[in-house]
C-alpha cells in the first residue's frame, strides 16, 4: 500500500521515525513534509496529504502535528476526505471499519512513539465494513454538500 505522510515542525521527529517503521513493514511512503524542525504551518501539510489521497496518488494518509487537531481540521476541509484524530488504537481501527476514514491523525505532544505505532498497526490493518455504515458515510458526504437539513 502507498501511504502519504505529513507533519508540522512539532511532529517532525515522530514523522521521521514512523516513516521508517512503516517502510520496514513494507509500505511505500510518500513524504509531503515538513522536512526540517523549522517552524511551519500545519494546514499546508494537512491539505497536501488530503489532496494526494483525493487524487488517488496515495491510498491512505498519516498526519501529525502537536495535538493532531489542527492538521486534521485542515485535511477535513478537502471534499471527500475523512481524517480521524486518534490517541489510542481502538478508535484507529473503528474509524476505518465504521467511518471509512482515509487519513489517521494524532499528536506528537499527546502520545508516545509506541502508541503511535500501535495506532498505525490498527489503522492499516482495518477494512471498511460497508453495510449500514455505508449509508452513514454517505450522509457525511451529504452534510458536506449541504443536503441534509
Ligand atoms: C504548533 O505549535 C501547534 O499549534 C500545532 O502543532 C498543532 O498542535 C495544532 O493543532
| pLDDT tens for each residue of the chain, 149 residues long | 999 999 999 999 999 999 999 999 999 999 999 999 999 999 999 999 999 999 999 999 999 999 999 999 999 999 999 999 999 999 999 999 999 999 999 999 999 999 999 999 999 999 999 999 999 999 999 999 998 76
For ligand 1, is residue 75 a contact (CB within 6 Å)?
Answer: no
CA distance 83 to 99: 10
Active site residue 98: yes
| Structural domain boundaries in the chain | 2-144
**Residue identifier of the C-alpha nearest atom 10 of ligand 1:** 70
Substitution candidate for ligand 1 out of 6, 7, 9, 10 with most atoms within 8 A of CB: 10
- Catalytic hit among 40, 65, 86, 95: 65
Q: What pLDDT is stored for residue 21 in this prediction?
A: 98
For ligand 1, is residue 124 a contact (CB within 6 Å)?
Answer: no
Q: Enter the C-alpha cell of residue 52.
A: 494526494
Q: What does the DSSP assignment read for the chain? A: -EEEEEE-GGGHHHHHHHHHHHHHTT-EEEE-S--SSS---HHHHHHHHHHHHHHTSSSEEEEEESSSHHHHHHHHTSTT--EEE-SSHHHHHHHHHTT--SEEEEETTTS-HHHHHHHHHHHHH-----THHHHHHHHHHHHHTT---
The verdict on domain 2-144 having CATH code 3.40.1400.10 is: yes
Neighbours of 67 (CB within 10 A): 19
For ligand 1, is residue 69 a contact (CB within 6 Å)?
Answer: yes
Q: What is the pTM of this model?
A: 0.97
**Residue identifier of the C-alpha nearest atom 9 of ligand 1:** 70
Active site residue 65: yes
Q: What pLDDT is stored for residue 147 in this prediction?
A: 80
Q: What pLDDT is stored for residue 144 in this prediction?
A: 94
**Residue identifier of the C-alpha nearest atom 7 of ligand 1:** 66
Name, in order, each residue with C-beta under 8 angstroms of 35's C-beta and a sequence gap of 6 or more: none
Amino acid at each position: 500500500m502507498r501511504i502519504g505522510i505529513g507533519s508540522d515542525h512539532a511532529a517532525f521527529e515522530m514523522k521521521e521515525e514512523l516513516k521508517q517503521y512503516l517502510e520496514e513493514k513494507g509500505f511505500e511512503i510518500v513524504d509531503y513534509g515538513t522536512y526540517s524542525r523549522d517552524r511551519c504551518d500545519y494546514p499546508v501539510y494537512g491539505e497536501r496529504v488530503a489532496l494526494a489521497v483525493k487524487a488517488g496518488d496515495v491510498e491512505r494518509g498519516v498526519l501529525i502535528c502537536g495535538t493532531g487537531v489542527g492538521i486534521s481540521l485542515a485535511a477535513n476541509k478537502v471534499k471527500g476526505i475523512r481524517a480521524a484524530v486518534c490517541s489510542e488504537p481502538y478508535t484507529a481501527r473503528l474509524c476505518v471499519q465504521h467511518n471509512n476514514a482515509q487519513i489517521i491523525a494524532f499528536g506528537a505532544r499527546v502520545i508516545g512513539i509506541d502508541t503511535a505505532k500501535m495506532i498505525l498497526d490498527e489503522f492499516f490493518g482495518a477494512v471498511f465494513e460497508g453495510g449500514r455504515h455505508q449509508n452513514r458515510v454517505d450522509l457525511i458526504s451529504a452534510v458536506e454538500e449541504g443536503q441534509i437539513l
